[in-house]
Structure 1
Amino acid sequence: MRNGKRIISIITTCFMVTSLCIISPTPAHGASNEYYVSVNGSDSNNGQSKDKPYKTIDKALGNASAGTTIYLMNGTYKSSVTYKLSKSGTSGSPIRIMNYSGHKPVVDFSSQPYADSSRGFQISGNYWVISGLAIQNAGDNGIHISGGNNRILDCFITKCGDTGLQMSNGAFNNEITRVTSTYNYDSKTNGENADGFAAKLSIGSGNVFRNCIALNNSDDGFDFYSAGNAVKLYNCEASYNGKGDGNGQGFKVGGNYTSDNHYLEGCIAIGNKKRGYDQNNNTGFITLKNCTGKNNNINFYFPKAPKSGTHKFSDCISSGGAGKDVIVGATVVNCSFNTK
């Protein structure tokens, strides 16, 4: 996707609307594996229909098991505690938390203390699906994943005290699709840590981002520091990241000298404070296919050859940028880099 087709303000506005207005089929009433939650409900209800919903997400989670779907109805759900999703579904029967028939549920954690443990949703279990929610103001991560085979779709995450969505501690086979993460900022370090998305600090294999957008976060857009396994990205965007003391990389594809062969296709980085695509001491080889860097301080920065193999860059475009691109140890096909 080229910069001529990417207009940030339009994309952001449209995505905020569509990601919060996912049209779900109207669920059947009274099924025991479906629970409804409403800000006007009561936890003394049975929660099994939209006419008798629970009031709290906690009540529904307490009854959840493999195959359960929890529908959040329109409104703002405020919580001062982390929702700890430690149960597990199965491949054929995941546990789902999703909006109800196109409503726009907001889960607001502004009453949480600002602390490393103050996450919004903490997923240590497997086979969860979170779809069509707005998540905001968590004291740390909006969503933190250490489990596997989880799916996060069509969500909007904003104004958290650390990275909007982070995978670490062995997280594996997770897919993040059409999620926007924006305006996350950690005040205690003046923005040094809060990324849009992170897959770092010893993840497992098989983690994928598709059509995700990281905008205006204080540190990086996507951070893969010390990942320990390769991550794949398709059609993702990282733009205008880097506030305060934040690094300001669009896609930080490594760090701590781990050897991780990350793959990025159809991605774009615009206007990041430091670099659009940054090797950051990754000793593995990186594949960039049809990726664009525009108006970053440096668009593409890969100053070291991999320990084995070569970087593989094809059909990439560099436009604008205050500094020259640095490309070392790469096979380059049909790219337009600013290296002269």
Structure 2
Amino acid sequence: MKKSPIMMMLCIVFASCQKNDVASPGSDSPKPAANVESITVTTESALKSAISAAKAGDIITVSGTIKLTSTLQLLNSGTSTSKINFTGGVLDCSGISSGWGVKCNGSYWNITNMTIKNAPDCGLVFQYGGYNYVYNVTTSGNHDSGLQIYNQSHHNNISYCKSNDNYDTQNGGENADGFACKLSAGAGNLFDHCTANHNSDDGWDLYGQPYTVKITNCTATNNGYGGSGDGNGFKLGSSGQNVPHTATNCTSSYNLASGYDGNGNTGHITITGSTGTGNGKTLFYRLY
């Protein structure tokens, strides 16, 4: 049966409309994130290659345990809407001769669900950059602080992390805190639902930190077991400073020294809903 001219014209118009529904290259229509990589790595060389090439939206997953022989450096940055995702596994830093285990100088990283252990210095350090999110990361057995933020690094959110058994053998335990945000870190750093247990110095150390740090729902226990460690649950600043740090709904118990120590910081430190017991010196000390 032959189609009438009117029917043929309608078919042509319909086909044209169907074709125009597909976004053309360079158009403003949403496109799939074709360049985003999802990579699983099992060796140090593959891990470092993936990290050095990382871009916004990538997912880098560690499978099993990778033994590092040099510091893993996170130097690239994601974006506010598309972070770089680094997750899973265990990073054993015992093969590193000196230095940190993992250093992050980039911004907009999600670091989640992993263990970083046995570094000859700090386990995980945020040195520059900001807007990084750390979730369910354990730092243990490192020879300085487990996780440290300093030197301008800002707006980092550390949540549901654990830091334990960090001990600096070279100094008799004087410097290895569970968590440290000190020595000129930037603004906007937050710790939430984190636990520091059995570290040789303090659970948290904010020594020399010029901007307010918020600590919420965190727990510090049994810190100060090193011969030279101070052993405070939460050390909230240092002498000569006037910085209003906050500790909200925290618990500090069985630490060698005090539960919460202002350490000479004359800023109005706000302790709200925070408790503790069994500390060697007292619960609240030098708070203004």
- TM-score, with structure 1 as normaliser: 0.72
| 2:75 paired residue among 86, 98, 104 | 86
CA distance in 2, matches of 1:71, 1:192: 34
| 1:37–1:55 contact (8 Å) kept in structure 2 | no
User: Of the two, which has the highest radius of gyration?
Assistant: 2
| 2:261–2:286 contact (8 Å) kept in structure 1 | no
> What are the superposed Cα offsets for residues 196-228 of structure 1, whole Å, 9 maximum, x if unpaired?
000000111110000000000000000000100
| 1:35–1:60 contact (8 Å) kept in structure 2 | no
How far the C-alpha of 1:259 sits from its partner, in A, is 1.2
The structure-2 alpha-carbon separation of the partners of 1:304 and 1:261, relative to structure 1 and needing over 3 Å to count, comes to closer
| 1:297 paired residue among 277, 280, 286 | 280
**SS state of the match for residue 61, structure 1?**
helix
| 2:229 paired residue among 221, 239, 246 | 246
Map residues 171-182 of structure 1 onto 2, 5 A cutoff. 171-182=153-164
> How many residue pairs end up in the alignment?
254
CA distance in 2, matches of 1:294, 1:300: 7
| 1:293–1:299 contact (8 Å) kept in structure 2 | no
**SS state of the match for residue 282, structure 2?**
strand
Unaligned runs of 5+ residues in structure 2 are: 1-32
CA distance in 2, matches of 1:283, 1:249: 18
| 1:158 paired residue among 127, 130, 140 | 140
Corresponding residue for residue 24 of structure 1? none
Corresponding residue for residue 17 of structure 2? none
Corresponding residue for residue 122 of structure 2? 141
**SS state of the match for residue 249, structure 1?**
coil
| 1:79–1:111 contact (8 Å) kept in structure 2 | yes
Map residues 210-229 of structure 1 onto 2, 5 A cutoff. 210-229=192-211
> What are the superposed Cα offsets for residues 230-288 of structure 1, whole Å, 9 maximum, x if unpaired?
10011000100002211100000011321110111110011000111101010211111
How far the C-alpha of 1:141 sits from its partner, in A, is 1.0
Corresponding residue for residue 76 of structure 1? 65
AA matched with 2:166: N
1:37 maps onto 2:40 in alignment: yes
The structure-2 alpha-carbon separation of the partners of 1:31 and 1:156, relative to structure 1 and needing over 3 Å to count, comes to farther
CA distance in 1, matches of 2:137, 2:74: 17
> What are the superposed Cα offsets for residues 100-130 of structure 1, whole Å, 9 maximum, x if unpaired?
xxxxx111010112x4xx1111111111110
> What are the superposed Cα offsets for residues 7-63 of structure 1, whole Å, 9 maximum, x if unpaired?
xxxxxxxxxxxxxxxxxxxxxxx9642232332x7xxxxxxxxxxxx9621011122
| 2:158–2:191 contact (8 Å) kept in structure 1 | yes
| 1:34–1:71 contact (8 Å) kept in structure 2 | no
AA matched with 1:185: Y
AA matched with 2:36: N
1:260 maps onto 2:250 in alignment: no
After the TM superposition, which of the residue ranges 83-92 and 172-181 deviates more from structure 2? 83-92
**SS state of the match for residue 214, structure 1?**
strand
Corresponding residue for residue 129 of structure 1? 110
How far the C-alpha of 1:297 sits from its partner, in A, is 1.3
**SS state of the match for residue 59, structure 1?**
helix
Unaligned runs of 5+ residues in structure 1 are: 1-29, 42-53, 100-104, 306-340
CA distance in 2, matches of 1:203, 1:65: 25
1:106 maps onto 2:90 in alignment: yes
The structure-2 alpha-carbon separation of the partners of 1:304 and 1:210, relative to structure 1 and needing over 3 Å to count, comes to closer
**SS state of the match for residue 156, structure 1?**
strand
> What are the superposed Cα offsets for residues 130-179 of structure 1, whole Å, 9 maximum, x if unpaired?
00001110111111002210011011110001000000001110000000
Output the aligned Cα RMSD. Answer: 1.6
Corresponding residue for residue 3 of structure 2? none
